[in-house]
Every structure is written in C-alpha cells, then in structure tokens.
Structure 1
Amino acid sequence: MPGGGFSKLPSGSVVVALGLPSPAGDGRTVRFLVHAGNRSRALTRLRNLGLRAVYLRGNTEPPTPDEITAVLHHPDGLLWRSTPQDAQELWHPIRALPMS
C-alpha cells in the first residue's frame, strides 16, 4: 500500500497526502491531497466520499511544497492525480474522480 503523510501549516491547519488504490478498481494508484483543520477532519472528508478504509499511519510521504501550494489554491481543498510519480500530470478536483 502506498504511503502518506501530512504537513502542519503555520495557520494550524494541515495538508494530508495519501496514496491509495484507485476507487475505479483499475489497479492504478491515486494520490489524494486534502486541506483541513486537522488530520482527523482531512481523513473524514475522504471517508465521506466513499473511501472508507482511509488511515494515516506515520509520515512516510508528506506532501511536497508544490503539492501544498496546489491544494491551498484550490477552492475545494481536495485534489487527486492518478500517477503521483508523473509530475507532468495535472491535479484534478475530486468531482472528476471516476468512482466504480
């Protein structure tokens, strides 16, 4: 299972980054970025979207500065992309995520 992590911002809020199997069940890995008041709230936002088995164990892959900037500048504060290792792929809003 791909890892995840978080970064606490000077404002006290956090950005959580998680790598999870694609909800579409196509075998891809999806990297999610969530901006929230705290880690628990960030995970709850993902669970409310139907990603039930979402847990953050450790801080092995925290969000990069570029990822933090991307999620902070998005009005929903919730982004994803299917190939985290491909820096050329753009971030997508959560409503564009294909769910099975």
Structure 2
Amino acid sequence: MAAGGFCKLPNGRVVVALNLPGAGPDGIGGVRVLVHAHNRARALTRLRNLGLRAVYLRGNSAPPTPDEVTAVLHHPDGLIWRTSTDDAVGAPSGPPQLWQPIRALLRRRTPAPA
C-alpha cells in the first residue's frame, strides 16, 4: 500500500502520484512515482504490470503538484520516478532529485544473472 493521490486533467485523463516506501535504489529510502493514464485503475494496472504488485491508492492525501504533472506529461512514457525528498515529519530533507524513466528503477531492482 502506498500514500499518494491523483488529479484529473481537463481532457479527462489523470495523473496519479504514489509514494512507495523502501522501493528506492538498493532498497534504501522511498520513491515518488508518477503515472499518466486514462483513469486511476489503468494507472495502477500499468504499475502492477511492471512488477509493483502491492500498489493501491487509498484517498488523495498526496496529490501531484503542478510541477510533477508537467514533468509526467512531457515524458514520452508517462511513467517516471525520483527518490523521495521528504523525511518522516514531512519536511524536505534535501534538494529535489531529477525525474527518471521507470526503466531506471526497474533495472536497479532486478538481480544480476548468476
């Protein structure tokens, strides 16, 4: 389960933002994932099809900011991530990281062949 939220765009599509704890590179920290899709269900299905099976969106506690919406709309895949910059209290813990395509996160998570 993950905290997150969504916003509906004027064309009817949505941008879903999810904070995934412990999904960061090398299993340290969390990541914020943004997905652009036709609706919330399709956005979550896109993530589940990539191997993030236990991803659910309950409520709208952390919707995407306007800057995040712009970032995901300008990415060709419409699916990006970056390390979380918020600590447990909710205060920014460092400078924001660059958005990366989801392939970069999945490449780090998969074990190397033996």
5+ unaligned residues in a row in structure 1: which ranges? none
More helix by share: 2
Q: Which residues of 2 match residues 9-88 of structure 1 at below 5 A? A: 9-21=9-21, 22=23, 26-85=27-86, 86-88=94-96
TM-score, normalised with respect to structure 2: 0.80
Percent identity of the aligned residues? 67
Evaluate the alpha carbon distance shift between residue 3 and residue 87 of structure 1 in structure 2; reply closer, same or farther with a 3 A threshold. Answer: farther
User: 2:91: which partner in 1?
Assistant: none
Query: 1: CA distance between counterparts of 2:74 and 2:25?
Result: 26
Count of residues paired in the alignment? 100
Instruction: Report the Cα offset of residue 83 of structure 1.
Output: 2.3
5+ unaligned residues in a row in structure 2: which ranges? 87-93
RMSD: 1.7
SS in 2 for 1:67: helix
> Could you tell me which of 93, 101, 104 is aligned with 1:93?
101
Residue type matched to 1:18 in 2?
Answer: L
The ranges of structure 1 where at least 4 consecutive aligned residues each deviate by more than 6 angstroms after the TM superposition are none
